[in-house]
Amino acid sequence: MSKELISQENIVVGEIANGLPLTIPVYRLKGDGTGPNVYIQANMHGAEVQGNAVIYQLLEQLKSLKLRGDITLVPYANPIGCNQKSGEFTLGRFDPITGTNWNRMYRFNKALPSQIAEQHKDSDDATLKAAFKQALVADIDSQLTGPDYSLTTGKRIALNLQKLAHQADIVLDLHTGPISSKHLYCPEYAKDSASYFNIEHVLLIPSDFDGAMDEASFCPWWSLSEELAKQGREFAVQVEAFTVELGSQEKIDLSAAFEDANSILSYLNQKEVLVDAAYHPKAMTRYACMLEDYVAYYAPMGGMVEYLAPLGGHIKAGEPIARILRMERYLSEQPLQTLSFDKDAIAILHFASASVNQGTELYKFFTNVFEL
């Protein structure tokens, strides 16, 4: 495959205040039709820019590979978010009009799985899968073609992205944390696939819908599988969807992006998206925890923070994780306070700023960790 075989379309996802169209670029590569189709998007949150570099590195390698499945890649998934600036910093985590997280606006029609399960109870698996995909896309279309006054800006962007994702068998949503180590949000049913990525830390999530892209992609299929189980029929979840956390926000690292692209290509190769490709998962110990054991640590006091816990590092209960400097209290109390955590844990991410109020989320920790 050559660069000429990569197609680009700019799709309209709304209009801005001067009436001009709001567009996002969509790149497509065609496979031979024998493998699963893939959808990859990046930069839904404005400051989380590394995914754009990863999509660049993916395209650079994919143009010389043979594909079984089609691959659709969307950088700059949220053109409003990546342009939300305040001074030197990019905001873009929340819709500035509604205050809603940009990554919590996707749709799940909970009635659809039971409807399709009943309508196609006598269909074979291939027919059922095709019918459900068609129904999911039609459901999104019904929202996009409904009354124009019913959709917020963010919802319209999300639905257009979701329509693309529903046409795929594999969905990867590329994100970053504030200051973060690499980690993977993986649905519990797909935990065996987590070992195909070169990512050391894996967060196993239940099949519950909370509005995010990965959940919007796999939850309908999980629900369909459950509905068919009530009929006594075994039907595997047909879509795998992951949120891939690539490190820290407000930063592009092309060397790291090359490694991240190789990690994704390793996964895609294991899933038979690629033809005779030499991408394989690295030998490494992968550590996991359940979502319920992913613990937020909030600042017990305000001040200026020195973060001590190494990201991706294992810490023991009682070890120092941070020091907080409170110079206004230099004469009245100990101005330097040491903080610790009362559990053995892995530090995954921490707040981006050294200046914190009491109650600011300082860290996120894996606890009750086990090897995958």
Q: What's the predicted TM-score (pTM) here?
A: 0.96
Q: Kindly state the percentage of the chain with pLDDT values over 70.
A: 99
Strands 21-29 and 7-15: antiparallel
Q: Which among 198, 237, 256 is positioned nearest to 52, based on CA atoms? A: 256
Instruction: Tell me the pLDDT tens digit for each residue of 303-332.
Output: 999 999 999 999 999 999 999 999 998 998
DSSP state of 154: H
The answer to whether residues 68 and 275 touch, using CB atoms and an 8 Å cutoff, is: yes
Average pLDDT over residues 77-101: 93
Average pLDDT over residues 127-144: 97
The answer to whether residues 24 and 13 touch, using CB atoms and an 8 Å cutoff, is: yes
Helix (H, G, I), strand (E, B) or coil at 83: helix
- Confidence (pLDDT) at 148: 78
Contacts of 3 (CB under 8 A, 6+ apart): 63
Contacts of 364 (CB under 8 A, 6+ apart): 177, 294, 295, 296, 297, 347, 348, 349, 350
CA pair distance 327, 340, nearest whole angstrom:
20
Helix (H) or strand (E) holding 128: helix 125-144
The answer to whether residues 244 and 174 touch, using CB atoms and an 8 Å cutoff, is: yes
Q: Which among 203, 197, 131, 144 is positioned nearest to 170, based on CA atoms? A: 197
Which residue type sits at 271? K
pLDDT at 146 over 90: no
Query: Residues 221, 226, 227, 232: what is their CA dihedral angle, to the nearest 10 degrees?
Result: 130
Instruction: Tell me the pLDDT tens digit for each residue of 259-301.
Output: 999 999 999 999 999 998 999 999 999 999 999 999 999 999 9
- Confidence (pLDDT) at 4: 65
pLDDT at 2 over 60: no
How high is the mean pLDDT of the chain? 96
Helix (H, G, I), strand (E, B) or coil at 173: strand
Distance of CA 292 to the CA centre of its chain: 18
- Confidence (pLDDT) at 3: 60
- Confidence (pLDDT) at 1: 52
- Confidence (pLDDT) at 197: 98
- Confidence (pLDDT) at 372: 93
Band (pLDDT 50/70/90 cuts) for residue 147 is confident
- Cβ burial 244-267 (10 Å sphere, 16+ → b, else e): bbbbbbbeeeeebbbebbbbbbbb
A 10 A CB-CB count for 339 gives 20
CA pair distance 58, 347, nearest whole angstrom:
29
- Confidence (pLDDT) at 186: 98
